[in-house]
C-alpha cells in the first residue's frame, strides 16, 4: 500500500527562504490576501484532502480503471465523491479571477495544490487539471460573453474542460488536422471530425464538459496557418448557462493503457456539433499555446510527483527491509541483517530520488513565480519579458523533469527488489503511470527541438543569455571575492556552476556554428542538449537551496537536520549527478553521420 505525506516543510522552505514568495506576492496588490497564515492554512487543508481522500483511491483506481458502455464512461469507485468534495471545498476556484467566481489567489499557489494532489493520485488529478488550461485559454482569448458563459462554471468545477488537438493521422504535426468547421451564419459553427487521446474527454464527474477544439474553416490555408480554435460543449447551453440538448459529441471508445488507468483517454467524434470561434480565424495554433504552456508545466509537475512518491515509499522500505551486512561491519548487530539503507548502492538511488524531487520542486516553484508575473503584468512589455523567460524554461521543465521523474520511479522499483514488481506495493504502478509523462504534451524529442531549434538557434541564444546571466550574478554574489560570510562553504558549488555555465554558453555557440553546415546536427544533438541543460539548471537551484540552508544554520533555527540534509543532498548532486553533463556534452557535439549513414533498407533486420 502506497503512503504519502505532503512535504510541507520543504514547500515552506522554498516559499520563505529560497524564493521569498511573500515579498513576491507583496509586489502585486491583487495577491495581498496571500499571507503566510492563509498560505499555511491552505497547505495544511490540502495535505489532509490529499492524504485522506485521494491517496486511498490511487491503487484501487488503477486496479478498477474506467469502464466504457455505449458511449458512457464511468470513473472508478470513489472518484466522483472525491471530486464533489474537491468542488465543495473550493479547490478548483483557488487561483482564478474573482470576477468569474474564483478566489483570486496567485497561480503559484494553485501549482502547489496541483503538486500535492498529483503526488497523491495523478490519475484523479488529471480531471480537474485539464480544466485549468481550458480556463486560461478562454480567459486570454475569449470574448466577454464567452467568459461570462463558460468561466464561472469551469471555475467552480461544476463543468470540466479539455483540449482536443490530436487526430488519428496526426499527433505533434498539427498541420495535418482535418476536423472541419462549417459556419451556420448565426455566429456558430458545425464541427465535424474525430479527435483521439483526449484526456478526461468523457466521464461521470460533471454534467458538462467544455472542449477546446482545433478545426479548419472552409478555404483556410493549408498547414498550421489555417487552423482555428473553437469552444464546443458536450451539452448545449443557452446564454444563461442552462443545459439543453446533447451536442453531437460522442465518445467512440476509451484507450486500454499501460498506466494512468483511472484517467479516461477518449476517442471523441464530433458530428455537426455546435461550437463557437475563440480568438481570430486561422490563429488557433497561436491561441492554443496558451493552453499548451499550461499543460506542459503541468506535465513537468508529474515528474516531480512521481519522484516524490517513489522516494517517500522507497525510504520507508529501505529502513525496514533487512538484507546482508554493511561492508564496513554490522550496523544493527541485534538484527538478523542490516536494513538495506546501509548499502551504498541503495543510498545512491535514494539520494538520486531525493535530489530530483526536491531539485525539481525548486525548478517548478521558480517557474510558478514567472507565471504569476505574466498574470499580473501591467504592460505588454512586462508580459512579454516574463513570457519569454517562461518560453525558455518550459521545454526543459517538461522534458527533463519527466525523464528524471521516470528514473526516480524506476529506482523505487529497484530498491524494492522483487517486491517492487508486485502490484500490491504500488511501485510498479508509479513506473507505469509516469511513463506517459515523457510522451504527452510533446515528447522529449519535440521539447528538445523546441529548446535547441527555436529558443536557442532562432533567437541567437538571447533567452539563454538572460538565464545564464542570472546564474552568474548568483555565483558572483557568493564567490570567494564577495562579502558573503558563507563563501568558503559555497565555493564548491560556485566553482562548478561557473564552469558549467561557461561551457553551456560555448557549446551552444558551437552547435549553432555546426548547424549552419549540417542541419541534422539540430536533431541529433537536441535531446542530449536538453538533458545537459536540465542538469545545469537543477544544479543552480541546488546551489540556491544550499546557500539558503547555510544562512538558516548560521542563526538560531529549529529543525537543523532539515537544513543539513539540504546541504548534503546538494553536495551529492554536484558530485554524483551534475557530472553527467560531461558525457552528454561529448554526445551532443558528435557528428550526426553515424545516425544517418544507414538507409532504410540497411536498417532492416530481414
Asked if pLDDT for residue 500 goes beyond 70, the answer is: yes
For residue 605, the model assigns a pLDDT of 64
Residue 437 or residue 601, greater confidence? 437
At residue 252, does pLDDT exceed 90? yes
DSSP 119-138: HH-HHHHHHHHHHHHHHHHH
**Separation in Å, CA 41 to CA 9, 46, 119, 157:** 13, 8, 19, 21
**Over the stretch 355-392, which tens digit does the pLDDT of each residue have?**
999 999 999 999 999 999 998 999 999 999 998 999 99
Q: Give 184-233 pLDDT, tens digit per residue.
A: 999 999 999 999 999 999 999 999 999 999 999 999 999 989 999 999 99
pLDDT above 80 for 125 = yes
pLDDT per position as a tens digit, 520-531: 999 999 999 999
Q: What is the pLDDT of residue 7?
A: 98
Q: Which of 403, 407, 441, 571 is catalytic?
A: 441
Q: What DSSP state is assigned to residue 456?
A: I
SS (H, E, C) 400-440: HHHHHHHHHHHHHHHHHHHHHHCHHHCHHHHHHHHHHHHCC
Output the CA torsion 30→31→35→36 (10° steps): -170
Q: How confident is the model at residue 138 (pLDDT cuts 50, 70, 90)?
A: very high
Closest CA to 464 of 513, 499, 506, 527: 506
> What pLDDT was estimated at residue 604?
72
Please give the pLDDT value at position 298.
86
Per the listing, cell 524494492 goes with 416
Contact 94, 103 (CB under 8 A): yes
More confident residue, 473 or 291: 473
**% the chain with pLDDT above 70:** 99
Q: How confident is the model at residue 291 (pLDDT cuts 50, 70, 90)?
A: low
Average pLDDT (307-314) is: 98
Q: Does residue 600 register a pLDDT over 80?
A: no
**pLDDT over 70 at 11, yes or no:** yes
Rounded mean pLDDT, 503-523: 96
Residue 471: pLDDT band (50, 70, 90) is: very high
Instruction: Using the predicted structure, report yes or no on whether residue 171 has a pLDDT greater than 80.
Output: no
Give the residue-averaged pLDDT of 303-307.
98
Reported as a single tens digit per residue, the pLDDT across 27-53 is: 999 999 999 999 999 999 999 999 999
CATH tag for 20-282 (out of 3.10.20.90, 1.20.1250.20, 3.40.50.800, 2.40.110.20): 2.40.110.20
The 10s digit of each residue's pLDDT in 330-348 is: 999 999 999 999 999 999 9
**What does the mean pLDDT of the chain come to?**
95
Condensed to tens digits (0 to 9), the pLDDT of residues 430-462 reads 999 999 999 998 899 999 999 999 999 999 999
User: Mind giving me the DSSP string for 267-312?
Assistant: EEEEEEEEEEE-SSTT-HHHHHHHHHHHHHHHHHHHHHHHHHHHHH
**pLDDT over threshold 70, residue 294:** no
**What residue ranges do the domains of the chain occupy?**
20-282, 287-442, 450-596
Size of the chain, expressed as the number of residues it contains = 606
Q: What is the pLDDT of residue 174?
A: 79
Query: Each residue of 72-87: pLDDT tens digit?
Result: 999 999 999 999 999 9
The pLDDT-based confidence of 603 (bands split at 50, 70, 90) is: confident
Phi, psi of 221 (to 5 degrees): -60, 155
CA 368, 412, 255, 251 torsion-angle sign? negative
Question: Which residues sit opposite 600 in a β-bridge?
Answer: none
pTM of the model: 0.96
**77, 141, 208, 252 from 70: Cα distances, Å:** 19, 35, 18, 8
* Span of 173-187, 284-298, 442-456 with lowest mean pLDDT: 284-298
pLDDT score at 259: 98
381 is catalytic: no
What pLDDT is recorded for position 288? 79
- Look at residue 606 in the predicted model and tell me its pLDDT: 55
* Cα four-point dihedral sign 269, 197, 167, 393: positive
CATH number of 287-442: 1.20.140.10
Determine the average pLDDT of the residues in 482-493.
91
Q: Is the dihedral of CA 485, 488, 489, 493 positive or negative?
A: positive
Amino acid at each position: 500500500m502506497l503512503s504519502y505525506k505532503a512535504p510541507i516543510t520543504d514547500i515552506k522552505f522554498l516559499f520563505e527562504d529560497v524564493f521569498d514568495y511573500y515579498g513576491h506576492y507583496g509586489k502585486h496588490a491583487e495577491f495581498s490576501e496571500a499571507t503566510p497564515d492563509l498560505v499555511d492554512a491552505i497547505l495544511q487543508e490540502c495535505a489532509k484532502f490529499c492524504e485522506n481522500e485521494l491517496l486511498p483511491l490511487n491503487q484501487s483506481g488503477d486496479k478498477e480503471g474506467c469502464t466504457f458502455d455505449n458511449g458512457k464512461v464511468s470513473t472508478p469507485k470513489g472518484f466522483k465523491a472525491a471530486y464533489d468534495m474537491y468542488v465543495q471545498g473550493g479547490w478548483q476556484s483557488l487561483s482564478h479571477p474573482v470576477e468569474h467566481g474564483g478566489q483570486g489567489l496567485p497561480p503559484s499557489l494553485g501549482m502547489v495544490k496541483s503538486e500535492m494532489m498529483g503526488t497523491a493520485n495523478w490519475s484523479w488529478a488529471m480531471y480537474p487539471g485539464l480544466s485549468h488550461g481550458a480556463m486560461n485559454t478562454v480567459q486570454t482569448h475569449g470574448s466577454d460573453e464567452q467568459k461570462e458563459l463558460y468561466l464561472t462554471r469551469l471555475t467552480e468545477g461544476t463543468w470540466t474542460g479539455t483540449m482536443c488537438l490530436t487526430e488519428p493521422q496526426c499527433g505533434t504535426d498539427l498541420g495535418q488536422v482535418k476536423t472541419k468547421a462549417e459556419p451556420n451564419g448565426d455566429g456558430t459553427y458545425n464541427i465535424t471530425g474525430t479527435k483521439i487521446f483526449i484526456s478526461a474527454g468523457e466521464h461521470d464527474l460533471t454534467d458538462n464538459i467544455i472542449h477546446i477544439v482545433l478545426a479548419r474553416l472552409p478555404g483556410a490555408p493549408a498547414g498550421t496557418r489555417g487552423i482555428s480554435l473553437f469552444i464546443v460543449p458536450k451539452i448545449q447551453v443557452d446564454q444563461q448557462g442552462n443545459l439543453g440538448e446533447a451536442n453531437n459529441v460522442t465518445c467512440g471508445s476509451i484507450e486500454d493503457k499501460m498506466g494512468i488507468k483511472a484517467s479516461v483517454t477518449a476517442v471523441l467524434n464530433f458530428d455537426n456539433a455546435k461550437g463557437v470561434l475563440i480568438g481570430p480565424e486561422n490563429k488557433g495554433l497561436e491561441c492554443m499555446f496558451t493552453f499548451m504552456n499550461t499543460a506542459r508545466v503541468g506535465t513537468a509537475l508529474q515528474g516531480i510527483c512521481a519522484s516524490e512518491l517513489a522516494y517517500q515509499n522507497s525510504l520507508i522500505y529501505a529502513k525496514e527491509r533487512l538484507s546482508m551486512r554493511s561492508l564496513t561491519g554490522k550496523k544493527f548487530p541485534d538484527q538478523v541483517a542490516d536494513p538495506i539503507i546501509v548499502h551504498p548502492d541503495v543510498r545512491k538511488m535514494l539520494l538520486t530520488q531525493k535530489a530530483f524531487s526536491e531539485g525539481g520542486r525548486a525548478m517548478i516553484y521558480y517557474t510558478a513565480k514567472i507565471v504569476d508575473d505574466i498574470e499580473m503584468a501591467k504592460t505588454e512589455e512586462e508580459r512579454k519579458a516574463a513570457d519569454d523567460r517562461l518560453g525558455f524554461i518550459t521545454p526543459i521543465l517538461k522534458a527533463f523533469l519527466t525523464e528524471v521523474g521516470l528514473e526516480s520511479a524506476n529506482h523505487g522499483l529497484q530498491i524494492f527488489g522483487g517486491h517492487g514488481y508486485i502490484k500490491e506495493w504500488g511501485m510498479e504502478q508509479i513506473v507505469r503511470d509516469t511513463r506517459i509523462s515523457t510522451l504527452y504534451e510533446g515528447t522529449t524529442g519535440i521539447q528538445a527541438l523546441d529548446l535547441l531549434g527555436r529558443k536557442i538557434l532562432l533567437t541567437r541564444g538571447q533567452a539563454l543569455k538572460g538565464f545564464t546571466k542570472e546564474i552568474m550574478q548568483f555565483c558572483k554574489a557568493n564567490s570567494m571575492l564577495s562579502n558573503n560570510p558563507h563563501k568558503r562553504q559555497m565555493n564548491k558549488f560556485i566553482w562548478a556552476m561557473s564552469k558549467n555555465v561557461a561551457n553551456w554558453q560555448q557549446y551552444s555557440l558551437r552547435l549553432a556554428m555546426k548547424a549552419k553546415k549540417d542541419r541534422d546536427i539540430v536533431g541529433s544533438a537536441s535531446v542530449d542538449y536538453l538533458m545537459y541543460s536540465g542538469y545545469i539548471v537543477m544544479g543552480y537551484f541546488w546551489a540556491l537551496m544550499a546557500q539558503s540552508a547555510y544562512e538558516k544554520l548560521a542563526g538560531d533555527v529549529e529543525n537543523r537536520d532539515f537544513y543539513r540534509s539540504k546541504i548534503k543532498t546538494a553536495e551529492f548532486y554536484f558530485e554524483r549527478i551534475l557530472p553527467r553533463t560531461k558525457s552528454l556534452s561529448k554526445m551532443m557535439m558528435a557528428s550526426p553521420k553515424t545516425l544517418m549513414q544507414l538507409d532504410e533498407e540497411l536498417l532492416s533486420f530481414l
